[in-house]
Each structure stands twice: as structure tokens, then as C-alpha cells.
Amino acid sequence: MFNRKQSRRSAIGVAQIALLAVTAAAPFSAAHAAGTLAGTDITNTATATFSGPDGNPQSVDSNAVTLRVGELLDVSVASTDTGDVGVLPGAANRVLKFSVTNGGNGPEAFALTADGSAGGDDFNPTVTSIVLDTNGNGAYDAGVDTVYAAGSNDPVLQPDTSLTVFILSSIPAGATDTQRGQASLLAAAVTGTGAPGTSFAGQGEGGGDAVVGATGAESDDQGVYRVNAATVALAKTASVVGPFGGTGAVPGAVITYTLRATVSGTGTVNNVAVADPIPAGTTYRPGSLTLEGSTLSDAADGDAGRFTGSGIAVSLGSVAAGTSRTVTFQVEID
């Protein structure tokens, strides 16, 4: 193939040179969203037909102009979590999910970096690793998916294909409910990045140049961790009824204690238990233990509460945020 335009002078007086039939040929062009594959040749040849002096039809081909399609470097990164990812304070290996798409027209390796220290959020997740979804199931599989190591396993993506990439982070122990922390994933073409149009001579797929596309050949996006921490608050109140109807704390008076456990925040608290010792100088009134207004037996049996001999103990189980449980019991002043 001749890929240079010829000077017009060479057109003159070359009738005896054999006609070199060159047809427009682009052997592996594909209808691709990312465009013609890098390394494809675009060849243009025109033909003229005319009647010569003798009246016979004649045909002449032009020179062939060949242009090689260079490699366009484009990438896009997008967070693919459906929303904030709920975490607990101090949690490790919390997963954010991203997709990295090669928007260029040639196979390209991409270097990945993750950053949890950007501003604009409430806490900084500590990024502990970047993991490639090597089994392609879109979910993080510990020990199965490959941990990314910059420079040694930069993922190579074919044009128009995507890879799922996970960021694993630890959440600070001090983070509190509803706080949000961002972590971002950056993918950059290994061939090079820069302003759109920046060219890397000879470094494109197929030996042509590589040219930075509209994305600058790098892209990033953020995922968000959100702390879903529920907290339990316990409030204790007492009311006294004297033996003669007064409210004085005199011997024989009955004290009713009300313990109200309230869960606030987000989520559910599991295995909530309330225990309260019987105050010195008082005696537990048998059969006085209630939960949500229902009496609980004093024995350690099928219900949620019991009298231990020195105090009461009630298991509340799982309590959702925004709800509360009320326990009452009575003692008599000795």
C-alpha cells in the first residue's frame, strides 16, 4: 500500500506504467460505538472513465490515499452502587462498586487509584484495597476476585467493554450515625493522559499514534459510605406510693420503677437486654415485672424476663430504630 499523496507532476507522461489496481480497503472495520478500531487503514481511490480520441471508453484510477486510524484514548468510571452503602463505625472491608469502561477504539490498560480523603464529606474512609471483579459476576468475592496491584495487573479492556472494580475501605470507629464518607476511583489510560488531542506518537494500537479523546483518557467517580448506627438510650423513672396513700419513701411504701429503652439512629439493635439490681433496703415484689404492660413471670422460663434474686433481667431482642420498649417492676421499702 502506498500511503502518501503523490505530487501532481508525476501524473504526466506515465502512460506506459502498469495500472496498479488499488481498491478502497479497510479489512477489519467494525460497526463499533467506540468507532473504527485503532490500526485500521482507510484507503481512498477514485476512478475516472471517459472517451478518448478514438471514441473508446477508457478508465483511470487515482492514486490511493491511505490513512491509518489512530488509537483514541477514552475511559469512563461510574459508581454502580444503587445509593449510599450502609456501614457501621469501625467496620473493615466495606465495598464500593464501580464500572470502568474503555470508550476508546483500541485495547488499553488502565491504571487505577482510589482515594478516600477527598473533602466535602463527614469522614474519610481508609481505602485498604482495590479489587478487580475477575469472575465477572458483579459482586465482590473475597479470595476469588483479584486484588489490584498498580503496574503489575493493570486491567486491559477491549474497546467498548467494561470491568467492575471494587474499593474496599475501613470505616473510622468514631464515625456516627448518618455521617457520609466518600471514596473515589480514578482510571487513567496507561498509554497516557492529558488534554483532548494530546498525541503519543507510535504508541497507538497497530503502530499508529495514540490520541487523547474527549475524556482526557482518565475519569473518576465517587461512591459513598453512610453510617447506619443505631443507639440505645435507657431512661429510668420511679414513683412511690406510701402504705397510706402518700408519696413519701417510708417503710412499706411501694416504688414502681419504669425502664424505657429507646433506640434511635438508623437500623436495628440486636440482643437488647435490660438488667436492674434491686436497690439496697428494698425487697422485690414478686410478680411485678412487666414488659410493654404485660406481666412476665419471675422464673427463668419461656418469657423474656425473670427475677434473678438480686435484680430483674429482661431480653428485648432486636429493636428497630425509632421504637422503644418499656419495662416496669416494683419494690417495697423495708
Interface with another protein, residue 318, by CB under 8 A:
no
Residues 212-231 vs another protein: string with x where CB under 8 A? -x------------------
Min dist CB 213 to another protein, Å, is 8
> What is the spatial distance between Cα 221 and Cα 99, in angstroms, rounded to a whole number?
10
105 binds another protein (CB under 8 A): yes
Residue 5 binds another protein, judged by CB under 8 A: yes
Beta strands 324-333; 108-115: pairing state:
unpaired
| DSSP 3-state of 207 | helix
Residue 152, interface with another protein (CB under 8 A)? no
* DSSP designation for 89: T
DSSP code per residue over 132-147: E-TT-SSS--TTTSEE
Of 233, 126, 230, residue with least CA distance to 178? 230
Q: Segment contacting another protein (CB under 8 A): 27-35, 133-141, 146-154, 237-245?
A: 27-35
> Considering only residues 26, 95, 109, 241, which one is a binding residue for another protein as defined by CB under 8 A?
26
3-class DSSP assignment, residue 3: coil
Answer yes or no whether residue 7 interacts with another protein by CB under 8 A: yes
User: Of 39, 41, 38, nearest to 213 (Cα)?
Assistant: 38
Question: Judged by CB under 8 A, does residue 163 bind another protein?
Answer: no
| Interface mask toward another protein for 37-66; x: CB under 8 A | ---x-xxxxxxxxxxxx---xxxxxxxxx-
Cα separation of the two ends of the chain = 111
Binding site for another protein (CB under 8 A): 2-8, 10-15, 17-20, 23-26, 29, 31-32, 34-36, 40, 42-53, 57-65, 67-72, 105, 204, 208-209, 211, 213
